[in-house]
């Protein structure tokens, strides 16, 4: 049987359930300053929603929930809500939010590529990317609201991919505004790295069991991780220095395991 192309799998898997299932259960972690919306602003919003086409937003037809940590500090971890669109069979782009409610803050972006495209990158570029093998096999990466069989097929597509992620608003550090500079994020690569309480709280909100998903994904082959990915594991944790002061990647002052 021929495998279902990724560009078809994501929309079919959701089946119109994106708004109905797996959403509106995670609030933003910050309350930003600023005057409340006026009646005029609300009217303008309603008019724009009714009259303007938004093709790029309409293309965000997949919802993934997982976890990131700051490159250079694994102890600084957070949940990340990805709303993604498939550009082609080997390239996905995602907008990352700190929640799944209407007023959630945009935390950053993630670009996901196939192994083939990753291997075509120069060594310096590869150091910015992380593998997805453990995120999938551990059960920590989920696609909320879709049937288990569809999620399973989706994870088979994602297990061999690579992601480059930058967070631009560090709401996990309770920053009320998007201050500082973008920070490079990484994904977990082994059991025991992700904070167990963080994962358990996420599972409770979504009514899922990461351990059970891990068991159900045992049949998904774990491809070898391509050379150059997850550079932090080799003592090369890439990060952007923040000229405004200590960045969130080192605010906790904790060492990176394995360094």
pLDDT tens across 29-55, in order? 877 676 676 776 566 556 566 767 778
Taking each helix axis from N to C terminus, what angle separates 148-158 and 6-14, rounded to the nearest 10 degrees?
150
Interatomic CA distance for residues 45 and 36, integer angstroms: 14
Q: Which of 135, 139, 102, 103 is nearest to 216 (CA)?
A: 139
Q: Is the pLDDT of residue 93 over 60?
A: yes
Interatomic CA distance for residues 72 and 185, integer angstroms: 9
Interatomic CA distance for residues 96 and 243, integer angstroms: 24
189, two tokens: 């690569």
198, two tokens: 């963080």
CB 219 within 8 Å of CB 143 = no
Query: Which DSSP symbol is given to 89?
Result: T
CB 63 within 8 Å of CB 23 = yes
Interatomic CA distance for residues 193 and 116, integer angstroms: 28
CB 225 within 8 Å of CB 234 = no
What is residue 30's predicted lDDT score, i.e. its pLDDT?
Answer: 78
For the chain, domain boundaries: 55-234
What is residue 40's predicted lDDT score, i.e. its pLDDT?
Answer: 63
Interatomic CA distance for residues 197 and 169, integer angstroms: 23
Interatomic CA distance for residues 131 and 255, integer angstroms: 21
Q: Which of these ranges, 15-19, 104-108, 155-159, has the smallest mean pLDDT?
A: 15-19
> Between residues 58 and 159, which one has the greater pLDDT?
159
What is residue 2's predicted lDDT score, i.e. its pLDDT?
Answer: 46
Q: Which of 142, 259, 110, 150 is nearest to 211 (CA)?
A: 142
Q: Is the pLDDT of residue 228 over 60?
A: yes
What is residue 247's predicted lDDT score, i.e. its pLDDT?
Answer: 66
């Amino acid at each position: 049987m021929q495998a279902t192309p990724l560009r078809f799998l994501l929309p079919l898997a959701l089946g119109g359930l994106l708004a109905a299932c797996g959403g509106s259960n995670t609030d933003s972690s910050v309350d930003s300053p600023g005057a409340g919306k006026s009646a005029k602003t609300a009217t303008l919003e309603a008019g724009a929603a009714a009259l303007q086409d938004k093709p790029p937003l309409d293309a965000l037809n997949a919802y993934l929930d997982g976890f990131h940590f700051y490159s250079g500090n694994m102890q600084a971890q957070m949940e990340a809500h990805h709303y993604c669109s498939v550009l082609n069979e080997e390239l996905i782009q995602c907008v990352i939010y700190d929640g799944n409610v209407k007023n959630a803050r945009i935390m950053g972006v993630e670009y996901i590529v196939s192994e083939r495209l990753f291997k075509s990158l120069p060594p310096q570029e590869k150091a910015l990317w992380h593998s997805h093998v453990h995120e999938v096999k551990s059960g920590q990466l989920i696609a909320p609201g879709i049937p288990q069989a569809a999620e399973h097929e989706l994870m088979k597509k994602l297990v061999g991919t690579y992601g480059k992620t930058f967070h631009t608003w560090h709401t996990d550090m309770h920053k009320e505004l998007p201050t500082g500079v973008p920070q490079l994020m990484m994904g977990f690569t082994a059991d025991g790295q992700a904070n167990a309480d963080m994962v358990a709280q996420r599972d409770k909100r979504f009514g899922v069991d990461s351990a059970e998903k891990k068991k159900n994904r045992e049949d998904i082959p774990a491809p070898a991780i391509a050379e150059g990915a997850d550079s932090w594991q080799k003592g090369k944790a890439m990060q952007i220095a923040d000229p405004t002061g200590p960045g969130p990647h080192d605010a906790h002052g904790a060492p990176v395991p394995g360094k």
